[in-house]
């Protein structure tokens, strides 16, 4: 039930209609019987700052921020978490009681928590890590993997200069690799992460031979439409361990929910079933 005292939060994007965040947060609100609501907020870039200030002034607890506002959110926040500071991107805003706006980036946390849930021995796969892509998601994931102890990291990207920029901006100990050298970069890799949109419904396929990967490699994709991407299917055929991308979305939502609604939510089979139902 929503009363006059309900706590409010939402997701700000442009567009936002495809976002699964309202499905996730409202599931938890109902499961934990929290007096609150979480709504989708379509906000054009030029209106972003005004909208955030308005939500704060209207008493919202905070908001998630998605494409294309993540960098603007980092600029607008009064304080940033170390990860948000490093990546220059914010996906979770928390409005503090004194009116200050705190920004966090929970994408890397979501990525690692998903890896852990899908492959409890994931730390054994941090020897030679190959990341495909150098966009916003790759930034958060590269930082998280470096902090978790990746020994060697290669960033393979279509536009090599973007991989170089990512490594420089984040001060990472990593090597940029041009896309046409991707297959040789996979040699003996123990973890392969796809952060590009290749393989997503409606996008081009990800054509990459997995032959060179280490026989004990772990392969994960942040694409979750389809849930089992062609990359994951091919990895499975090679008898490699796989982790799909939906859990990253579920886990990245947890810190925001805890900050706004005061309960630490869990990611379980019932939530997964609920979200998969909403995706159909």
Residue 273 appears among annotated catalytic residues? no
Measured CA angle at 272 (ends 270, 273), to 5 deg: 65
DSSP state of 17: T
Report whether 28 contacts 37 (CB < 8 A). no
Nearer of residues 61 and 66 to ligand ATR, judged by Cβ: 66
Residue 25: partners with Cβ closer than 8 Å, 6 or more residues away: 9, 38, 253, 256, 257
Q: Choose between 165 and 238: whose C-beta lies nearer to ligand ATR.
A: 165
C-alpha span between 79 and 72 (Å, rounded): 13
Beta bridge partners of 218: 191, 241
Our CB check for ligand ATR shows the closer of 29 and 43 to be 43
Candidate list 7, 49, 70, 239, residue with the active-site label: 70
Least separation in angstroms between residue 47's CB and ligand ATR is 21
The CA distance from 265 to 276, in Å, is 18
Question: Is the CB of 87 or the CB of 190 nearer to ligand ATR?
Answer: 87
Residues that bind ligand ATR (CB under 6 A): 133-138, 157-159, 162, 195-198, 204
Compute the least distance from the CB of residue 255 to ligand ATR, in Å.
Answer: 19
Residue with the two structure tokens 């909208």: 51
In the complex, the smallest distance separating the C-beta of residue 103 from ligand ATR, rounded to whole angstroms, is 16
Of 184, 188, 191, nearest to 149 by C-alpha is 191
C-alpha pair distances (Å), 87 with each of 17, 115, 137: 26, 20, 10
Q: State the residue number with the nearest CB to ligand ATR.
A: 135
Supply the DSSP string of 217-278, one letter for each residue: -EEEES--SSSS-HHHHHHHHTT-EEE-SHHHHHHHTHHHHHHHHS------HHHHHHHHHH
Pick between residue 188 and residue 204 the one whose CB is nearest to ligand ATR: 204
| Closest CB 196 distance from ligand ATR, rounded Å | 3
CB of 243 to ligand ATR, least distance (A): 17
Which is nearer to ligand ATR, 67 or 100 (by Cβ)? 67
DSSP E strands, the chain: 7-13, 36-42, 62-65, 79-80, 92-95, 101-104, 128-132, 152-157, 175-178, 191-194, 218-221, 241-243
CB 240, min distance to ligand ATR, A: 22
Catalytic residues: 70
């Amino acid at each position: 039930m929503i009363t006059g005292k309900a706590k409010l939060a939402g997701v700000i994007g442009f567009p936002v209609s495809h976002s699964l965040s309202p499905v996730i947060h409202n599931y938890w609100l109902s499961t934990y019987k929290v007096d609150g609501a979480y709504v989708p907020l379509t906000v054009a870039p030029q209106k972003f700052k005004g909208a955030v200030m308005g939500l704060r002034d209207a008493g919202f607890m905070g908001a998630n921020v998605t494409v294309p506002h993540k960098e603007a959110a980092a600029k607008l926040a009064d304080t940033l978490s170390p990860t948000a500071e490093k990546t220059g991107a914010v996906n979770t805003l928390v409005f503090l009681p004194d009116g200050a706006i705190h920004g966090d980036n929970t994408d890397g946390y979501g990525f690692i928590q998903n890896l852990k849930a899908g492959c409890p021995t994931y730390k054994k796969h941090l020897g030679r890590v190959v990341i495909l892509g150098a966009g916003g998601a790759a930034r958060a994931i590269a930082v998280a993997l470096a902090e978790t102890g990746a020994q060697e990291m290669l960033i393979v990207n279509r536009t090599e200069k973007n991989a170089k920029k990512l490594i420089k901006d984040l001060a990472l100990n990593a090597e940029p690799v041009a896309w046409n050298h991707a297959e040789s970069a996979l040699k003996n890799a123990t973890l392969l992460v796809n952060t590009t949109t290749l393989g997503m419904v409606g996008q081009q396929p990800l054509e990459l031979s997995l032959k060179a990967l280490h026989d004990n490699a772990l392969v994960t994709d942040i694409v979750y439409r389809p849930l089992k991407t062609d990359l994951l299917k091919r990895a499975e055929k090679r008898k490699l361990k796989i982790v799909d991308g939906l859990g990253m979305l579920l886990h990245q939502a947890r810190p925001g929910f805890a900050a706004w609604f005061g309960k630490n939510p869990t990611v379980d089979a019932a939530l997964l079933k609920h979200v998969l139902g909403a995706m159909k």
